[in-house]
Amino acid sequence: MKKIAIIGSGITALARAWELQKCGHMVTVLERSNQVGGSICSCREGAYLAEEGPNSIQVNSYEVDAFLKSIPGFSEHALYASVDAKKRFILKAGLPRTVPMSLLSAVTTKLWSPTGKLALLKKLLIPTSNPGIEESIADFSRRRLGNELYEYAINPMVGGIYAGDPESLSLRYAFPKIHALEKRRNILLVAALDVILAARKKNKPRFKKRILSFKNGLLELPQLLAKALGESVKTGVCLESIGRNQDKWVINWNDHEHSYDQVILTTPAHSLSKLPLEPSLHNALEFLGAIDYPPVSVLNIAFKRSQVSHPLDGFGLLVPECERRSILGVLFPSSIFQHRTPEGDVLLTIFVGGNRQPELATPDTEELLRLVLPEIGEILGIKDSPCFIHHKYWDKSIPQYNLGYGQFLKQIKDVEKKFSGLQIMGNYRDGISLSNCIEQAIRS
Ligand SMILES: Cc1cc2nc3c(=O)[nH]c(=O)nc-3n(C[C@H](O)[C@H](O)[C@H](O)COP(=O)(O)OP(=O)(O)OC[C@H]3O[C@@H](n4cnc5c(N)ncnc54)[C@H](O)[C@@H]3O)c2cc1C
C-alpha cells in the first residue's frame, strides 16, 4: 500500500484516485478550489441547467463503461442521451444540413456535391503513401478525403472538438487512431475494414457507444467520485510547498507537512508553473507552459419553443470555417437530455472563439450577445430575445495538440524518469475528452 497525493480534482485526478483506492492505496486529493470537477461545471438556475464546460461524455469502450459502473450511485444518477438526438447538422450556404450517418444517406446527402463525393470515393480507394512528415489534420484530410470533405466535415468537427485550427493541429497527436489507420494500409478503406475484421477475430462484440450526462448535469460525475472517495478529497487547499526528501515526497498544505510515496500532478499545463514546486522540478516543467490553450466563450441561452422555427431535432450544429460566421457551433442540450429547461422552453449552448477566431471570445456578455443573437437567429429562425442567459468565458480552454506536440510528451516522460515517484497526468497527455482522461487514469 502506497501513500499517494494527487494535485487537482478534475476528472483525471478523481478517476485515478478511485482506481488507486480500489487497489488499496491511501490517496489524498488536494484541490485548490472549493468545488471538485475542474473544467466540469454545471450551474442549475431554477429549472435551467447550464453547462459551462463539457456537456456530455461519450462512453466508447468497455473499460470506461466498467469504470463508470464501479462508482457507487452511478447507475441511479446517469442520464443517457435521447435517441431522437442522434442527428447532427453542419451549416452549408447558411442552412443546417443533416450529416449522413449511413452509406445510403452519404450518397444522397446535399451536404456534399457529387464532385466532392466522387473525389472522396477515389481517395478512399486509391493507394497513397504517407508523406513521411508530421502532417496537420487539414493537410491529411485534403490529401486523403478531398477538399470538400475537409471543408464540410473535418474542419467543423475539429472546431467542435478542440475549438482548434486544423491547419495547426497534428493528426498524429490529435487523432492518433486515424493516424494509425493510415500507417496500417495505404488504401484507407481497406485499413478501416482491416480494423473491423481484426476486432471480429478477437470475438469481442463491438462496444455500442453511448452519450451520457446526469439529471443535474455532468458535475454529478466528479461529485459521485468525490463522495465515493470520502475523506480522501480535500477542497479549498492551500499548497505551500512540494518537494522531495530522500525517497519521499513532502508536501506542505494548510500549514501542515505531509509525506507521500508518490505525487501525481493533474493541474492544467499552464498552471503547473504556479504550483509551489521545488526549484529543480519547477524548472523542469516550465516548458509545458508553452502548450497552447485558446480562449472560448460558452453561452447558454433559452427560448420559448414557439420562438424557434428549427425543430432542434438533433445533437447540434457545427459551423465550417469557410461559412465565415462568428460561432463555432451550437448544441441543443434540451433535445439531448431531459431536465435542462422548464416545460416548453429550449436551451442552446453556443461556442465562440477557439483558435479559429480567438479575438471573438470575450468576458463581456453584452458584446457576445450582440455578435451571436443575430447569427443564431438567422440560422435557426429565432424571434425575439432569450428568456435565460448564462455565459462562461474561458481564457484558457482546451490544450491544442499542435504540430511538434511530441516534444512535450517526450519531455514529460523525461521528467518522470528524473523525478522518481512523480507522475504527470491530465488532458494534455493522452487526449482531451472525458473518456480519454478516464482511460488514462485506468491505464496509468
Ligand atoms: C468549454 C469546454 C467544453 C468541453 N466539452 C467537452 C465535452 O462535451 N465532452 C468531453 O468529453 N470533453 C469536453 N471538454 C474537455 C474536458 O472537459 C477536459 O479535457 C477535462 O475535463 C479535463 O480534465 P482534467 O482533469 O485533465 O483537468 P481539469 O478539469 O482542468 O482539472 C484540473 C484541476 O486542477 C485544479 N488546480 C489548478 N491549480 C491548482 C493548485 N494550485 N492546487 C490545487 N489544484 C489546482 C483545478 O482547480 C482543477 O480542479 C471540454 C472542455 C472545455 C473547456
Give me the DSSP letters along 127-195: -----SS--BHHHHHHHHH-HHHIIIIIHHHHHHHHS--TTTBBHHHHSHHHHHHHHH-SSHHHHHHHH
In the reported structure, the alpha carbon of residue 40 is separated from the centroid of ligand 1 by a whole-number distance in angstroms of 6
The residue whose CA is least distant from atom 7 of ligand 1 is: 54
Ligand 1, pocket-test mutation among 267, 282, 285, 424, most atoms within 8 A of CB:
267
Residue with cell 468565458: 393
The residue whose CA is least distant from atom 52 of ligand 1 is: 53
299-337: per-residue pLDDT in tens?
999 999 999 999 999 999 999 999 999 999 999 999 999
Task: Round to whole Å and give the CA distance between 93 and 169.
Answer: 26
Task: Round to whole Å and give the CA distance between 33 and 401.
Answer: 27
Q: Helix 11-22 to helix 220-229 angle, to the nearest 10 degrees?
A: 30
Rounded to an integer, the average pLDDT of 200-220 is 89
Average pLDDT, the chain: 95
3-60: per-residue pLDDT in tens?
999 999 999 999 999 999 999 999 999 999 999 999 999 999 999 999 999 999 999 9
Please tell me the predicted confidence (pLDDT) of residue 15: 98
Sorted by where each starts, the structural domains of the chain and their CATH numbers stand as 3-36+218-291+402-443 (3.50.50.60), 112-201 (1.10.3110.10), 294-394 (3.90.660.20)
Rounded to an integer, the average pLDDT of 275-299 is 97
- pLDDT tier at 194, thresholds 50, 70, 90: confident
The pTM (predicted TM-score) of the whole model is 0.95
- pLDDT tier at 403, thresholds 50, 70, 90: very high
Cβ atoms of residues 97 and 110 within 8 Å: yes
- pLDDT tier at 408, thresholds 50, 70, 90: very high
Residue 99 CB contacts under 8 Å (≥ 6 apart), including other chains? 87, 88, 89, 90, 109, 111, 153
In the reported structure, the alpha carbon of residue 10 is separated from the centroid of ligand 1 by a whole-number distance in angstroms of 5
Task: Round to whole Å and give the CA distance between 49 and 123.
Answer: 44
In the reported structure, the alpha carbon of residue 287 is separated from the centroid of ligand 1 by a whole-number distance in angstroms of 20
Q: Which atom of ligand 1 is nearest to the CA of 298?
A: 1
In the reported structure, the alpha carbon of residue 32 is separated from the centroid of ligand 1 by a whole-number distance in angstroms of 13
Q: Which atom of ligand 1 is nearest to the CA of 13?
A: 25
In the reported structure, the alpha carbon of residue 21 is separated from the centroid of ligand 1 by a whole-number distance in angstroms of 21
User: Which residues sit with their C-beta closer than 6 Å to ligand 1?
Assistant: 7-13, 30-33, 38-40, 53-57, 239, 266-268, 271, 274-275, 296, 298, 394, 397-398, 426-427, 432-434, 437
In the reported structure, the alpha carbon of residue 397 is separated from the centroid of ligand 1 by a whole-number distance in angstroms of 8
Task: Round to whole Å and give the CA distance between 369 and 95.
Answer: 21
- pLDDT tier at 106, thresholds 50, 70, 90: very high
Please tell me the predicted confidence (pLDDT) of residue 125: 85
- Classify the C-alpha dihedral 114-117-123-124 as positive or negative: negative
Q: Is the pLDDT of residue 183 over 90?
A: no
Task: Round to whole Å and give the CA distance between 108 and 18.
Answer: 47
The residue whose CA is least distant from atom 14 of ligand 1 is: 54
List phi, psi (to 5°) of 186: -85, -5
Q: What is the separation, in whole angstroms, between the first and last Cα of the chain?
A: 16
In the reported structure, the alpha carbon of residue 190 is separated from the centroid of ligand 1 by a whole-number distance in angstroms of 37
Q: Which three cell numbers stand for residue 276?
A: 509551489
3-state secondary structure of 56: coil
Q: Which atom of ligand 1 is nearest to the CA of 436?
A: 11
Question: Amino acid letter at 29?
Answer: V
Residue with cell 445533437: 315
Q: Is the pLDDT of residue 387 over 90?
A: yes
419-429: per-residue pLDDT in tens?
999 999 999 99
DSSP per-residue codes, 258-325? EEESEEEE-S-GGGGGGS-B-HHHHHHHGGGGGS----EEEEEEEEEGGGB-S---SSEEE--GGG--
The residue whose CA is least distant from atom 13 of ligand 1 is: 54
